[in-house]
Structure formats: C-alpha cells, structure tokens
Amino acid sequence: MLWLKALHVVFVVTWFAGLFYLPRLYVYHAVTTDTPGLARFVVMERRLFFIMTVGALLAVLFGLAMVFASPAYLAQGWLRLKLLLVALLVGYHFWCYRLMRSLRAGVNPHSQRWYRWFNELPSLFLIAIVILAVVKP
C-alpha cells in the first residue's frame, strides 16, 4: 500500500504542476499577437497537456489501486468527497483541453483576466483534497 501511495503522490504532483502552469500559458497566449509567439504557445501547451494527462491517468490509476486494495475506505465520507473533487478536477482537465484547442484554432473565447481567475481553480481543489486526505475530517 505504501508503494501505491508514494506513486499516487508523485503523479498527483505531476498532474498539478501541469494544472497550475497550463492555464498560465493561456494568459500569455491570449495576449500574444505575433505568429512565432502563437506557434510557440501552441507547442508548449500541447506538450504540457500530454505530460499532465499522463500524470492524471497514473494518479487516478494508483488512487484506484489503493481503493481496490482497501475498499473499506469507501465507507468513509472524506474519501467519497475526495473522489467527487477528483472527478470535478478531471472535468477541469478536459476544460483545459477544450480551451487549448480553441486557442490553437485562433479562437480566444476569454480575456486575459478570465484566464488568470481560471488559473486559480486548481489551487482550491488542491487545498480541499489535501485536507481531506491528510486530516480525514
């Protein structure tokens, strides 16, 4: 179980690194007007999204492995709430993908300020998920 937990944490860190940085790239992408700069952001966003998706998949895989190893934890409210937050975080991940595709296509549906606020959402998820996993209220 400790190996599963260690690997889970490693890949959660990988996933969150991407979730923190990718929307920040959107902030800069939204105000860039030169063709080379736009092309650079498209490449950076695509590569980062791939890395964070691998992190997300492995974090979820090792998290599920821990649940299967100790299914009794599912009876505890903190884990059910954590899993709900993780499901919402997966939704945020897909939302990032949709935004990345829009920006790549030259469609900028939001302002720089909106992307700055969007960039703060993973912090709220992280705080709540860590409190649930460590404190187990």
Q: Where are the domains of the chain?
A: 2-135
Q: What is the spatial distance between Cα 38 and Cα 24, in angstroms, rounded to a whole number? A: 14
DSSP3 helix / strand / coil % (the chain, rounded to 5): 90, 0, 10
Tell me what pLDDT residue 44 has.
Answer: 97
pLDDT in tens, 98-135: 999 999 999 988 999 999 999 999 999 999 999 999 99
129 is written with which tokens? 């998920």
Residue 75 has pLDDT above 90, yes or no: yes
Mean pLDDT, range 48-77, rounded to an integer = 96
pLDDT in tens, 6-44: 999 999 999 999 999 999 999 999 999 999 999 999 999
